[in-house]
Amino acid sequence: MDKKRQIAIFTTASLPWMTGTAVNPLFRAAYLAKDGERIVTLVIPWLSLEDQKLVYPNNITFSSPAEQETYVRHWVDERTGFKSDFSVLFYPGKFSLDKRSILAAGDISERIPDEKADIAILEEPEHLTWYHHGKRWKIKFRLVVGIVHTNYLEYVRREKNGRMKAFLLKYINNWVVSLYCHKVIRLSAATQDYPKSIICNVHGVNPKFLEIGKKKQEQQQNGIQAFTKGAYYIGKMVWSKGYKELLELLRDHQKELTGLEVDLYGTGEDSDQVQETAKRLELAVRVHPGRDHADLLFHDYKVFLNPSTTDVVCTTTAEALAMGKIVVCANHPSNEFFKQFPNCRTYDNGDGFVKLTRHALAEEPAQLTDAQRHELSWEAATERFLRVTELDQEFTRKLSKSPTKNFMSASLGLSGSMEGASAYVHHVASGFEATRRIFGAIPKSLQPDEEQCKELGLPMPAVSGHAYLATEESKSSGVKG
C-alpha cells in the first residue's frame, strides 16, 4: 500500500445547477486533492441538451463534456483560491421532471477502470443506487463510503399518500445503502437512520463567505456599523424549504413582531404562490428572485431567519454564520452542528421565535474566533471526513475468489446458503419493483441514449428487459422523463 489512494467521488448533480450535491462534492474533491497525497476523480452526470435546458439556470448549456468541465473547474478555483488537482469524469444521466432529480443511466461504476477502483465516495448513496443494476460497488471497490445528504423521507411524507411512500422508501433505502456501502456518514441526525452509520458534518463553507465575515469583523472592531439591514431568508423557493413555516410564524405573531420587515430571496416552482400568499396575509414581506448568497446585496443583513426542517445541514445557515450574522433557526437535528456558534439561536415554538428574532434585531452579532471560523471551513470538514472514514489509515480487505457469494452471506448471516442469497435477491428485486410502481418509472432511465454514448465515448447499450419494462410502464402511467 505504498501507492497513493485513488478516490472516486460520485454525485447526483453538477454545476451550474446550484444544489448541495453539485457544490459540496466539488469542494470535497478540491480539498482532498489539495495536499497531493491522494489521486481524486470527481464523477458527475452528463445530461442531454434537452435536459440541460430543464435543469441549468440562466439558459446555460454545454455542447460537450469538456466545455462543462472547464466551467466547473473555473468556478471552484475562483472560490478556493488555488488550482484544483483532481480529474473529472462524466456519467450519463437522465432528468426526472416530476421528481426534479437526475438519475444515473447504466452502470456508472464502470466509469472507473477496475485497476483504479480503490475508494468510492457515493454522495447520496440511496439516490445513486435506486436503479443500479451493474457490478456491486462493494466488490468493485476496496472501500465504499456513502454520504447521506438528503432527508428524502421528509419530502415524500409531504406528497399524496406520503406515509405509505415514506414507509416503503425507508425500507428500500436501508437495503440499497447496506448492500452497496461499507461505511455511511449522515451529515446530521435529520436523515434516515442507517445501521452502523456515523453522524458527522463533513461539509464546509465556501471560503468567500469566511472572507466576507472577516471584513465585517474588521468593521465591528473599528467601530463601524457592520450590519445596516434587518432580517432575510434565502433558499430554493419551494414550500418544503421552510417558506410555509416562516409565513405562518409571521402571520401568527404579527402583533408581537410589529415593524419587522423580511426579505425573501429564491427561485423555484412555488415562487408565485409564496408571493401571492404573503400579499394575501398582508405581511411585511418582500419576495425577490434568487441570487448568489455571496452577492454584495446580502452583506449588510444582520439576521438570517431559517425555519426549515427538511434540510440535513443547511448550507445557507452555515454561510450566514460564516458572514458573521445572527441565525434564528428551529431547534431541530439538522441544526445541531450550528449550536456551537454563539450567533446561532434555536427556538422550540412560535413564542421562542418571536423572542429570539426581537433580541437578534436589537443586538450586535458576536465576533467569531479563529477556532470557530476554522470549524466552518472546508479544511476542517476534510479533517473530519478523513478522521471518521479512516482513509489515511491502512485499509486491508482480502477479496474472495467468490466475492458475490461471500458478500451475500456476510451481509445476511446466511452461512453461505445460496438459497438464502437467492431469497435476498428476490426480496430486494421485489422492493425495487414496488418502488418503481409507487414513485414512477423514468423512460429509459436505466440506459443512456445513443447521443450520450457518443458524447462520452461509451459503447452503445443493448436494450434490456428492465429498460423496456420501465419505458412501457411509464407510457401507461403517464410519467414524464
**Model pLDDT, residue 403:** 38
**Model pLDDT, residue 2:** 53
- CB-based contacts of 237: which residues, under 8 Å, 6+ apart? 243, 264, 266, 267, 268, 269, 270, 271, 274, 290
**Model pLDDT, residue 157:** 83
- Amino acid in the structure at residue 335: N
Q: Is the pLDDT of residue 218 over 80?
A: yes
Per residue in 378-400, pLDDT (tens digit) is 999 999 999 999 987 744 443 33
Q: Which domains does the chain have, with CATH numbers?
A: 5-204+380-399 (3.40.50), 207-373 (3.40.50.2000)
Please give the share of the chain, as a percent, with pLDDT higher than 90. Answer: 67
**Model pLDDT, residue 376:** 98
Higher-confidence position of 371 and 391: 371
Per residue in 138-189, pLDDT (tens digit) is 999 999 999 999 888 877 887 888 888 888 889 899 999 999 999 999 999 9
Please give the share of the chain, as a percent, with pLDDT higher than 70. Answer: 84
CA pair distance 337, 151, nearest whole angstrom: 16
Higher-confidence position of 419 and 369: 369
Q: Is the pLDDT of residue 475 over 50?
A: no
Q: Is the pLDDT of residue 1 over 50?
A: no
Q: How many CB atoms lie within 10 A of CB 472?
A: 12
Q: Sign of torsion, CA 229 376 287 215?
A: positive
Query: Is the full-model pTM beyond 0.85?
Result: no
- CB-based contacts of 319: which residues, under 8 Å, 6+ apart? 205, 206, 209, 293, 294
Q: Are 331 and 355 spatial neighbours (Cβ–Cβ below 8 Å)?
A: no
pLDDT band (50, 70, 90) for residue 132: confident
**Mean pLDDT taken over the chain:** 85
